[in-house]
Structure 1
Amino acid sequence: MFVSDCLTVNQKGHLSIGGCDTVELAHQYGTPLMAMDEDTIRAHCRAFRQSIDRCYDGNGLVLYASKAFSCKAIYRLAKEESLGVDVVSGGELYTALQAGFPAERIYFHGNNKTRGELEMALDNGVGRIVVDNLTELQTLDKLAGEKGKKADILFRIKPGIDAHTHQFIRTGQIDSKFGLALENGEAMEGVKKALTYQNINLCGMHCHIGSQIHDISPFELAGEVMMGFLHQVKEQTGHVMQELNLGGGFGVKYTDEDHPIPYEDYMERVSTAVKAKAKEYGLPVPFILLEPGRSIIATAGITLYTVGAVKEIKDVRNYVSIDGGMTDNPRYALYQSSYDILVANRANEPKDYTATIAGKCCESGDLIQENASIQKPQPGDILAVQATGAYNYSMASNYNRIPRPAVVFVSGGKSREVIRRESYEDLCRNDV
């Protein structure tokens, strides 16, 4: 019934998260409301950190992929849990720095970083800039030279692996906007050019094959392919790479149809493959980096809505309208993402009603789920959508001039606001 252990049904028959009654949360903070269990987030951080320490003998670092959910509170939490972070824009970098996150543990990604973003990264001393293409490499070398600095970089590589996931979230194949391909020689060309630049320090390689992957084999293959490339680099240039970032993409449980593999199993098998190739090629095992985002945050979060109209179209379908929608969760419109949904104030009742959950935007495609099994709702009920911690608030918009929701962290039966609800005044703040 629930995708996370932080969700239970309390004595009132209400859905509870982290010991907090979700109906009371909705009344206290209003809806739509995103609630995240802080203890679950921390447990996931520790599971990744402990497994990478064990499998790579402490020679690695877990980077929280903050595009999944970015705010000051999550960067402070990542700092407390001894993680690094992966940022993909100047805005995420700025937020992390404002939260006091150590710049040397920030890895800056992006396929089209602006000159201003690269300058911000250099000025603040981020740990690594993950270079996506040869144009960026040339620009970065020039900027670093102007500043009297040397940029520590990783190259983003497309290892030619097609992870079996939605086409919009595959990134490892040659036909991708991200990175340099192995198949056509551009990756090696980039390496050789980087080694000639005086203001560039090539530390290692990065790859990311996709997201929401429920199979270990593509990750094993990526590790083997990347170690093979490190071997080729050494053979052709004499340069030994010290770091290998294997990205993220670990699948999570959105519904009962998902069967995620324990993080420890991923780490065990991929580390075995990496170590075997290192031995075969006579290479040192590189410092390993991973970038879990969704798998740290997704199942820790839920979104609460208030039910408005219930429209029953005979012999067609039932529509349940909510006070949010694609403005706080565009994933169904984008990917047809599946969710488990329930009526929070009737969580102890059977799901005997089939409905399409409709948002309030003036857009036919503004749906959260179709043909969902839920408890029969009434106007004013609180609807809960599970596993919305990742890529919901971070992808939220103000379409139709709808304010973005508040976000609260819960722990041990207590809640605290970490992002305030936007007001109508906020929407007009930059208008002139």
Structure 2
Amino acid sequence: MSKMIKGHSERSNLTEWLSYLENLHSVEIDLGLKRIAAVAKNLSIAFPKSTVITVAGTNGKGTTCAFLENAFLARNLTCSVYSSPHIERFNERLRLNKSEVSDNALVSAFETIEAARGDISLTYYEYTTLAALLILTAEQPDVIILEVGLGGRLDATNIIDADVAVITTIDLDHQSFLGNTREAIGFEKAGIMRANQVVVVGDTNPPSSLARHATDIGAKPYFREQSFTIEQANNNTWHWRSSEYTFSALNGCQVPQDNVATAIMVLHLLADKLTLSLNSEFLNQIIAETKVAGRMEKFTLDCDVILDVGHNPQAARYLASQLQQLNYPKVHAVLGMLADKDASNTITPLLPAVSHWYVGTLNAPRGREAKNIVESTQIDAAKVNCFDNVSQAFKMAKQNAKATDLILVFGSFYTVAEIRRLLV
């Protein structure tokens, strides 16, 4: 951190800085790269010594990043991951070699940005992304993984020209910002592509806008089902194949298998550059290590509890498929959602699997009232109770669930964060 210039500020700690940043810009989400790019230029942000990977997609970004991170660290490379949002602590958003960034490093970065931005107004996300990039400019790890916050083309992370772009899945979410069709959303995600740059697409049925944009700009795409495939085998194992390599007898995953397959393609493409030795034994080691907080995260109390940050229809369909495999006698769903999410189409895939619903008002920015969630869905009135908050909803679910049942907590990062604090 010695490369950073400290400036005078009345804000002396991280909490005060984050409170300041929340009210700095006129709107919470204001997509565009002009403001952040101008300040980044003033800060001389650059990564000449690092291999940079940018990861976009509707779902699966966090687990893809985690698998890559574990693989790089296992091969003795230094690796940093920038992601958002966090679950419990803001510091979770930036980690270097699995260690969360310190309060002091963030405060120092914020002070430097404040001195450099002049009269340029920045959103909370732009400001905090710049802080991460500034810290990484000083650190210069071997690999930097940047998880896109929203969309891709106009997301703050896209001021960086990455060496590899990754697009996990495309589905409907954030329609007010990204468009109402998969084609429109695909175009926004495709904005992280660069000419002559490798891009890995994990979606098994990608919108045509992705391939079209890759052709238009001269990117080098590797599409699932074309450049790489997976094949289920016996005893819960599977094979990963490309035109050059096959990794056989891979074990079952604790995170979505599709995201692991996408991450393996990235590792394969970077193997020569980063001197990565890949084989099935190594990949199974990383598969065993990779689990992510709030992604099908299991706790056992009087009964099993699973936390999942899924908050859109695609994520709900995945949850429904997992519940079918787990086959609990009864599932008690604790739900809290944001007002701008599609509650009806998110809940619908789970209706056959859930025995009872405990819907809480989400006490967070853009939080949605429990009654409003229920009114917009097809939940049977006899199977639902509404609560002032998700903690009360969880308490009632615990009282009603038997030892053989499952409590599923989902719907938002905020929902998972509130309940996870009660469990950890």
**Normalising by the residue count of structure 2, what TM-score does the alignment of the two structures yield?**
0.33
- Give the structure-1-normalised TM-score: 0.33
**Structure whose CA Rg is larger:** 1
Q: Compare the two structures and name the one with the higher strand fraction.
A: 1
Asked which structure has the greater RCO (Cα within 8 Å, sep 6+), the reply is 1
Q: Which has the higher helix share?
A: 2
